[in-house]
Structure 1
């Protein structure tokens, strides 16, 4: 039986935007905000486009709502990512080493900080810190696998 195969490699395009704030901590924080905020806004844009196509019509009011939702989600996720990247970088600088523990501590600090900023109670802040640390650690350890 004849067979055919495809040999090659796929790679995603790499877009790098450099914003120099004059401080490495700020550079990492702004970079995380911009990258993840853009991804979140693009995700909302894709969702809203799907819903517009499904409904078959668009109005200026719906377009304005979609744009506001894109901005809101972009800022929310961008802020979360910026705080996390900044915290992880700060922990790395304080500890003087680069390992998975920085992700764990950065995630825990981010979870606690964002939860406290939302006026949550102490138990919720602790739970969010544990969740943030666990998610960041899992993501960091999974990045070692590939």
Structure 2
């Protein structure tokens, strides 16, 4: 019986920017900041484009607001990512091993720090630390399964 098959692959172009500060911890932190900050900027561009299409017009004021939002989102997401990546690298260096536990600890500490900096107190900081640890651990488990 004749059969037809289709095989192929889809891949995206890889762009990697390397900034060597001379310190591996700082290199990882800056790399995380730049990569995730760029994702936040792209997300904001898409959101703002949607709003322009919805309104049907673009003004200088809208463009300025969009630029401010892109910078703010990029800096915030980048700072959180840089903190997490730096923490994970530091925990890995201290423990001398690379596993899901590094992600869990780095996620929990990052969650707690971000929560505390945003003026949260007590139980909210603990809950954010638990969430950060859970999300980071989940990502590591998914990476392991794929």
Change in 2 beyond 3 A, CA 1:46/1:3: farther
Separation in 2, partners of 1:27, 1:52: 37
- Aligned-pair CA distance for 1:5: 4.5
- Aligned-pair CA distance for 1:4: 5.3
Equivalences, count: 145
The TM-score, its normalising length taken from structure 2, stands at: 0.95
- Aligned-pair CA distance for 1:10: 1.0
Partner in structure 2 of residue 60 of structure 1:
60
Partner in structure 2 of residue 138 of structure 1:
138
Structure 1 stretches of 4+ moved >6 Å: none
- Aligned-pair CA distance for 1:18: 0.2
Partner in structure 2 of residue 85 of structure 1:
85
- Aligned-pair CA distance for 1:6: 3.1
Separation in 1, partners of 2:50, 2:71: 18
Gaps of 5+ in 2: none
Gaps of 5+ in 1: none
Separation in 1, partners of 2:74, 2:65: 14
Q: Is the deviation greater in 98-107 or in 119-128?
A: 119-128
- Aligned-pair CA distance for 1:119: 2.4
Separation in 2, partners of 1:65, 1:4: 53
Partner in structure 2 of residue 125 of structure 1:
125
